[in-house]
Structure 1
Amino acid sequence: MTNETFLLNAIQCASLDQLMGLIGTYLEQPVSIVDQAGTTISQSPSAITQPDQSRTRILLDPQALHPWYLVRAQPQTIPADQLRLALQVINNFTDRYALNPNQREVNAVLAQLLQSPAQADTHLLRSLITDKIVCVTVTAEPGTAHPAELVTALQTLAAPLPLTETSAGLVLLLSASQLPQTQAVLTKLGKQTHHVFFISEPYEDVAQTPEFLSICRQAEQIARRLGTVTVLNPTQKYNIYIILDHVDNGKLLKNTMCTQLLTLKQYDEAHHAALFNTLYAYLENDCHVTKTAAKLHLHRNSLGKRLTKIQALIDIDFDNPDRTFGMRLSYRLFNYLAL
């Protein structure tokens, strides 16, 4: 069979089994496609159902999400140009029908989802997701580019989940269950390449990625305004600020939440004290005396005296979770209004 006849017939094949029958005829020997475990994906007539692992296996598409191999049933040599053409035809067929998508296709689907959420077909991404995912943004510090080795490392970390580049930086999806292990890798990469990561809260529906990406971007803007950017930045830390950014009545926020903190501020200024920061540290350490004292480098008795003075100045009950939650929220409002 000539190359031209082979190509013309290949275009008319509608199934992988039909194509494999044609390739067996073209190469003049039975052939099979198997996965990494040796399971048969497709085969030509008379091919061995369970191929011997010792037989010649040729990797089809190195970029495919799952390694597939062409297995020849006979040891005789096949002309290199024939074998190369057969591999090309198989890869073109699997690409056309998305039988074994490659990483480029997955990345392209994420890019389309971020650009045109309503028009994006997310079936390919859904097939790769087995548990909750997180959206991660990757931003270079000013004057820093995205080095190729960073992109490669992040793609390897995310695979088979996607990574794409937007005008604001890189975006990738990671498995939420693997995040504790991948955080160490992200931290190392960020420090080496002067990049920062903002990590969304876990979610299940990949179609929601544009919404969680928006939260990551808003969290980054607020973190830069607050001066609190680190290498790894969970967006949960900035959720309240994101909500506040959508509240128009700043006067109402100040009058309902911040008056008691102003009392402490005024006392500190008049008496050269540090009650404002002491209360913040105590609340952020879940009202734990030992942890707070260590954080502030204070003796427990000194901290106790400060807390007694705070309770004399403002209405707060440390045993009342509603009161402590409201005060912690007040600190965030105070910081927000001070921006």
Structure 2
Amino acid sequence: MKYGVVLLRVQYWSLSINTGIAPMYLSEISPVSLRGLCGTFNQLCITFGVLMSTVIGLEQVLGTQQHWQYALGFPVVMVAWQLFSLSFCPESPRFLLINRESEEEARKALIWLRGTSDVIDEIQEMIAEREKAKSIKKFTVSDLFHSPELRSPLIICLMMHLSQQLSGINAVIYYSTSIFMSADLSENQAQIATLIVGAVNVCMTFVSALMMDRLGRRTLHLFGLSGLFIASYVLALGQIYNQYSSGSHTWIGYICVVAVVVYIIAFASGPGAIPWFFTAELFAQGPRPAAVSAGVLVNWSANFSVGLAYPFLQEKINAFSFIPFIIFLGIFWAFTLFKVPETKGKTIDEITALFKTDNYDRGYRPIINEDED
């Protein structure tokens, strides 16, 4: 038991590290025109992993008393594959040139990634960022709060992560099976419905990846938050009506099932993926690792808080337990509308320039014209 607890802690530490490093690495190696697509593929793989876990956990597969240990051990196969495939991946060219000051290694990595030797423009952009970074000291998380130019993007970064977890996504996922059963579905049918919801999550995350560099991060995040707000409102009304009305109302259950599906679609369209790679887009190479660390800390802390608080809310206020999420979603939608800039098609220099102190002194609002490029 003691060793099991230790292994579980190591697993969570590893997961926390990877959820920060993977989107940062993808953001650094991808070209500007495909940065949103590559960043969203991180979330796509996560949703696909969740779907596969749901499939493996079905009673018809490995979700039985005799075979559960095989389901638990299956991730070892994927870990081995990742370790093997990562050995062929190059180091981030941006890291090599800016942090290690090795232009030749960065050029080789960039040529391997792009499949062409015409990488001079990207190399020059990295060199310019490196020259600026030389006059700036090393960054820690506390430095992010002290610098006016970094404090604003940090607040945006943390709010984006909070909008993901305080949207109630974990509560909806945990509660989905019981919602489906309230629509007079059997336990087995409810599990199949949950599996379908997982498939919808994967499909919509893929669609979001394709649209990320066309519609933009801010637009998709606003769209996703709007859908989450509406779906949460319908879920709350359905649960409240079901609690206070007499008799059984199967049609309420079906409405709640539809609301859950809409909720997953809205989450996958923006809030599920954007916060992870958006942080890496808002910061230059120097403060980026510290900012990503802060974002991961806030994301997982919010995840833990929701997981800890929601059962208590459900016990105390029952059908009203979705109301706090509705309030949070309204706040995050307004914040995104008025404070979050669009980063689609912009270089790191162009994005960080949005947060220069003189811009804020003039009452700058980061709602920029997407056609400027």
TM-score, scaled relative to structure 1: 0.20
User: Comparing both structures, which one devotes a greater share of its residues to helix?
Assistant: 2
User: Comparing both structures, which one devotes a greater share of its residues to strand?
Assistant: 1
Higher-Rg structure is 1
